Structure 1
Amino acid sequence: MRFCIHDGPGIRTIVFLKGCPLNCWWCHNPEGISPRPEMFVRPGRCIGCGRCMQVCSVGLDRSRCTFCGECVRACHTGAREIVGQTMTVAQVMEQIEKDIIFYDESGGGVTFSGGEPLMQPEFLEAVLKACKTMEIHTAVETSGYAKPETIKRIAQYVDLFLYDIKSMDDEKHKEATGVSNKLILSNIRDLSEWHPNVEIRFPVIPGVNDDIENVKALADLASSLKVKGVHLLRYHNAGTEKYGSLDKTYFLTDLQPPTDEKMAEIRSVFGDANVKVLNGGNEYYEQKSGAA
């Protein structure tokens, strides 16, 4: 994704890597969870012509899909798309290099997102190295759920870590994401000791992690770490239609974004802990797609 301005400094290119060990209830990039390619269907574009059915050898059965792409090519309205593709380092760099002029003018660069980019450490490291040889600023968005040695291995090529923390309560974290937060918290304590540029990102999800007890616990953690500050990411439900396109169920259909009053309350908690809020707290989770 090109010309982004919310995932690190300046104008940025976002490289999405498929695969994530978490399965967050509110995930706005469900196409990034599975490490495999997936069929993405937009019902609103379908005109019922039947061309896709005519060319599909498995009768459009998702469970048997081979991702040959015949149905995609047969669809004249763009209702069908395969999300996720295999690319080489050279192919990724070819896309990145198209925007170098914008990085130079804006102080921007490349941000690796997902999914969880640390699930593809060898590939991520190779692309990061290629970026650094060209003096391109690099950022990695991560859940922090990775082996400590993986983080240390790639960190030398990363200028900025955008580090998500969802919940300080381990049981609530397991319920909402499917994994414990112990490794995540251990990794950020370690990373912030020796990496100079770590910023915490806190997605504010009403009824899930916006209680003041959790916010205060996160503020206390952030104040004890050598991090630059915290980004408050305001929940939004704009990406929920992706779930239907992937034949998945979104369970927070009635959830509304947090109010301005709630966001102001959360900002004040971080302020009381002398933790810098790096944005206004009014930004929504970006609706992104394009995982590779």
Structure 2
Amino acid sequence: MINFNGTLLSEADSKLIVNNRGYKYGDALFETLKVVNGKIFFWEDHYFRLMSSMRILRMDIPMNFTMEFLESEILKTLEANDLLNASARVRLNVDRGEGGKYAPSKEAQVHYNISAEPHNLPFYNIDDSRSYIVDLYKDYFVAPGLLSGLKSNNKAIQVIGSIYAKENDFDNCLVLNTNKSVIEALNGNLFLVKGDTIKTPPLEDGCLKGVMRKQILELLAKDVNVTVEEASISPFELQKADELFVTNVIKGIVPITKYRKKTYGSDFAQSLIAKLNAKLRLL
């Protein structure tokens, strides 16, 4: 069942209108949520990121779009799909409805839809037996700036980059901005470990303002044994690193095991994911 503006519909009945602005112009935002037994992981961070992104896109935020209202709609959708007492992946999509060309018409109003599917891992873990090989994606580049960091429906680079990765037997690719700095992976933020220094690209470089990125930075800030830098990463630094890992809300932390001829360990990532799961138990 799909939740369309509060109405539960079957997938067969949940067709988008062809004039929907999210479909026509990518005039839409989304949040990917991990929910376990009715608990939305990091819901407050997701909600405020969505509200901030809607303001940046100058959407008229409906008065009923409170954190409590949207949470209740998510839980209603999970219950309709028999996932309220299970682990689930949820997509909350917000668009500007129908009307207008590039400029929205006065009739255009914000709509939302929510879909849910089962997800088999309630907590985060790292599978040491699995390789995770990446390469640089260099066919297209991301413009630096905060607009590139929005979780919008315009994901052309992620789509064609994923096709490139699949065609070349890579598990993921790292994305560059127009300054040729490495900013993120196709599906998450990037962290680099070198000795006791942990680096991640700054938001100004064009990387996603990731919810899991925020959690990891908060955990690292409490570790007196490491130095954390939000600084640009050059491709040359990748092969000098001790560890590289990708973060997102669904998978948590995914260590990269190989980039070109360089192989990496995962000791730091393992210790970090233990802290992340401990934090979740306190939520």
The TM-score with structure 2 as length reference comes to: 0.26
Q: Name the one with the larger helix percent.
A: 1
The TM-score with structure 1 as length reference comes to: 0.25
Comparing both chains, which one has the higher relative contact order based on Cα–Cα distances under 8 Å and sequence gaps of 6 or more?
1
